[in-house]
Amino acid sequence: DRGFTNGQMDDLKFYGRDLSRPEIQFLAGRKDVAATEDDLKHIYMMRMADQLAEERTRLRQAQLNYSDFAEKVESIMVMKELKEPRQTFIRDRGAYDSPGEEVGPGVIKKLLPFEKQFPRNRLGLSQWLTDSRNPLTSRVAVNRIWQIIMGRGLVGTQEDFGSQGGRPSHPMLFDYLCEDFMQNGWNVKRLIKQIVCSSTYKQSSACSLKMLERDPENELLARGPSRRLPAEMIRDSALFSSGLMVSQIGGPPVKPYQPPGLWKESNNIAYERDIEQGSRRRSLYSYWKRTLPPPAMLTFDAANREVCTARREATATPLQALVLLNDPQYIEAARSAAQNALLKFESVDEQVAYLFRTFLGRNAKDQQLDILRKTFVEQLAYFKNEEKEVETFLAIGDLKADTQVDTNELAAMTVVAQLVLNLDQFVMKR
Amino acid sequence: MNEQLNHLLARYSNLLTRRHFFSRSSTGIGAAALASMLPFPKPDEKSTDDLLGPASALSQLHHAPKAKRVIYLFMSGGPSQMDLWDYKPLLNEKNGQELPDSVRQGQRLSTMSGFQSSLPLAGSIFKFDQHGKNRTWVSELLPHTAKTVDDLCIVKSIHTEAINHDPAITFFQTGSQIAGRPSIGAWLAYGLGSINENLPSFCVLVTKGKGGQPLYSRLWGSGFLASTHQGVQLRAGKDPVLYLSNPPGISSKSRRAMLDNLEAMHELQMAEAIDPVVSARIAQYEMAFRMQSSIPEVANVGDEPEHVLDLYGPDVKKPGSFAANCLLARRLAERDVRFIQLFHRGWDHHNGLPGGIRNQCRETDQACAGLIQDLKQRAMLDDTLVIWGGEFGRTAYTQGKLTATSYGRDHHPRCFTMWMAGGGAKAGTVYGETDDYSYNIAKNPVHVHDFHATVLRLLGIDHEQLTYKFQGRRYRLTDVHGHVVSPIIA
């Protein structure tokens, strides 16, 4: 050790008891040490009085209990306003060491002036934000809901409502929805209902090539929405349709399936999956390590959470295909759905039709059923000759095979379910 | 029909994710995945360079490129420049003496050594010798790399502002100390597109089993660019790419049959209503299937002759080692993967430096030299830029105790050494100088931004012109900084 600045350590001694004031003075080299009556009382009570021995033990135990308890309490940092607001200055060209004019808390006056009744702190800001005369907040909120449902906001640039952002495609509709939203207690559920019960939403998303060319983003809303689901919804969809999803609301996060060794390689930390129920909760509850987010989520364009992302992309990549084809999460979901099909229905036709319907939300056409049936037959023939393969395939994931179900059929039907999970229609909302 | 579809796909992909780029009608973020993978003919406007992929954001390069691909060997932790490259006999002379204030110039030190009561200088215990035509000084720790100095462009005057690992490495990878920006490889994937149909254009290889400062996926992330531009990690083991292998129990026969039926379903869908999105998805599945053979093919070094393996040293046979990754990097480069990023952790020698750095060099020295020789033998060195470096340097004074056999060094952003080889970097060059203490730069400073500007230049890109509009302004890798360092360009 190199020691510490302006000091030294010398003559280190350990004592198994608290030192009294006179003892400390003596050790520090003071010559004129004298014990006051208080000091003597203290020394007597702490060291000599036998009748207090039990109390001393109790005290010690109480101290241990306290520190044990205090250590385990999880502390969360909260923000609090300073009593005296700190002086804040504009920095010239952003340089931390060149302060310019002093400024105080303020807002964009054009939206709504910061009136006297709003305290000049975060509470005041929140009041200003949600004041019914402030046009911006409700617009951002409503647009976000519209974007989630319709695929594109009425304002195309959800992340920018400023002068460089887009204009609303339907300004009167937008104003109406925003006003209505505020007047009805900012009720999100009600707003969602309004949108999905509208005839605009209920339109078919099918359109001609000409229409597609003329309005590729469906700005004019001449057809229903057509957009790839976000990452979390794809996983949730698979879990829900397969019957595996755990509907528990709230509680600590969980760690679902992830390729082994990822955390260890980059961070030397082990990833311990939460088995069974833990791997079947809504994706909302997945543990998110910001420096190494779940790869299956990133592959489907989940935001990496390092910057605010108001609008995600919806790419199509081969890595996504690999996830849907090979991720144990989806294989287990496929097997669960396949098992349900086999248990619920007698004929192959009914079984594959069920799979189509449960994952895609619509009935299969005859030609589609033909292909699914063909798949089942082919895969069954393949698995019938490969007992070992059947075993290993059915061992993926936590879900145990139901004993009533023939294993070859289960394996074959799982592949059919996988096929359905990999259809464009599964990841696209139309 | 096909004509119409082609044209529509082109337009559609341009607007697929609502962002607009300059010039080429078939570019767009979605197009990176879409157009480059589709079995459609290249667009009418032939790019002036066959170095640009079909979905590149740039319609043409700004300069004649020298490099076609980059292999960046990142030494995470901050390798000690005065023990490897920056020969400073004065430090040995003054071993144990206090770091002069005139040298330190009031620099604020990190909390790791800032509270030391003294800052004694530590000379390197390693011997330096002169090598190559220019009698370049290299320490005994790098006997193999020393033999390649005539191919190297060594820059001794690199500097950064970042003093700790996370911001420093983020700075080197993304051009900003603060997270959120795209990495170099992502910028290149975006600007230049992919020139390989079967492999990702940006691959990442991390040495397995190393401890040290952690790495983050943002270091090869795409920031605000399309996620298709992010780096794909290739790991040692069964699944070089995540989720690559068929699940256990599924043979390729079974899988192929299933995929055929999948395609049949999609074609039914297409017959009902033409949808470019479905078309794109079909293409992705085919690409995924191709990757299931192309990736194992590139990762399988079984066909490499012994004499080539010998270049990299014995570790090359251990999957996941730095040497194995270097060999893999060469194979990826051969197949025109644009940007290959290696990470080797463990250079953060706050204490026990001599022992620690010997290990690090043993793991990397021969492989680096081997890579250069291998590329040279294949006539690939001229258009492959190889880069070696960490996120900052180390202090001339010792952190912790200074003994005859051991010392440590704290982080030092003010000056450190990197080298480049091939791809237009001027061979047999030493650029930039530090003072006698390897503490300050004496001549020709090269900032991280300058380094980025130069790398882009070597690839034919004007760093000020590869931009992307985000949050109301145009961003670029070098942001509003950076000057190309012309003297190190051949």
Q: Which chain A residue has the Cα nearest residue B5? A: A209
Residue B117's pLDDT band (cuts 50, 70, 90): confident
**Do β-strands B232-233 and B202-206 pair in parallel, antiparallel, or remain unpaired?**
parallel
CA distance, residue A375 to nearest chain B CA (Å): 7
B window 254-273, beta carbon within 8 A of A: 254-255, 257-258, 261-262, 264-266, 268-269, 273
Give me the half-sphere count of Cα atoms (radius 13 Å) on the Cβ side of residue A275: 5
| From A215-219, A415-419, B151-155, B376-380, the region with the lowest mean pLDDT | A215-219
Residue-wise pLDDT for B201-233, tens only, equals 899 999 998 888 889 888 999 988 888 888 999
Give the pLDDT of residue B30. Answer: 34
Q: Which chain B residue has the Cα nearest residue A397? A: B247
State how far the Cα of B360 lies from the Cα of A274, in Å rounded to an integer.
Answer: 37
The contacts of residue A419 (CB under 8 Å, 6+ apart) are: A372, A375, B258, B261, B262, B265
Nearest to A424 among B16, B264, B281 (CB): B281
Q: How many residues does chain B have?
A: 490
Residue B249 touches partner A, C-beta closer than 8 Å:
yes
Give the pLDDT of residue B20. Answer: 29
Give the pLDDT of residue B26. Answer: 34
For chain A, residues with pLDDT lower than 50 are: none
Residue-wise pLDDT for A1-30, tens only, equals 555 667 777 788 888 877 888 888 888 888
Give the pLDDT of residue A3. Answer: 57
Mutate to test the interface with A, among B5, B204, B215, B261 (most CBs of A within 10 A): B261
Region B1-21: mean pLDDT is 42
Tokens representing residue A186 in the block: 């900012």
Give the pLDDT of residue A4. Answer: 65
Region B369-376: mean pLDDT is 97
Give the pLDDT of residue B488. Answer: 96
Helices (H), B54-183: 81-84, 89-93, 101-104, 143-146, 165-174
Region B281-307: mean pLDDT is 91
Residue B179 touches partner A, C-beta closer than 8 Å:
yes
The contacts of residue B247 (CB under 8 Å, 6+ apart) are: A326, A328, A331, A393, A396
Give the pLDDT of residue B50. Answer: 66
CA distance, residue B299 to nearest chain A CA (Å): 18
Residue with the bigger pLDDT between B51 and A101: it is A101
Asked if A155 and A173 count as a contact pair (C-beta separation under 8 A), the reply is no
Region B374-391: mean pLDDT is 97
State how far the Cα of B360 lies from the Cα of B123, in Å rounded to an integer.
Answer: 19
B window 388-447, beta carbon within 8 A of A: 400-401
Give the pLDDT of residue B33. Answer: 37
Q: What is the mean pLDDT of chain B?
A: 88
Residue B44 has pLDDT above 90, yes or no: no
Four-residue CA torsion sign, A204, A206, A208, A209: positive
Nearest to B244 among A293, A322, A379 (CB): A322
Q: Do A314 and B274 touch (CB under 8 A)?
A: no
Region B60-80: mean pLDDT is 95
Residue B49's pLDDT band (cuts 50, 70, 90): low
State how far the Cα of B345 lies from the Cα of B77, in Å rounded to an integer.
Answer: 6
**What ipTM, to 2 d.p.?**
0.82
A window 245-264, beta carbon within 8 A of B: 259, 261
Give the pLDDT of residue A315. Answer: 87
Give the pLDDT of residue B48. Answer: 41
Residue with the bigger pLDDT between A358 and B196: it is A358
Asked if A372 and A343 count as a contact pair (C-beta separation under 8 A), the reply is no
Q: Which residue has the tokens 């936590």?
A: A398
The beta strands (E) that lie in B110-168 are given as 128-131, 136-139, 152-159
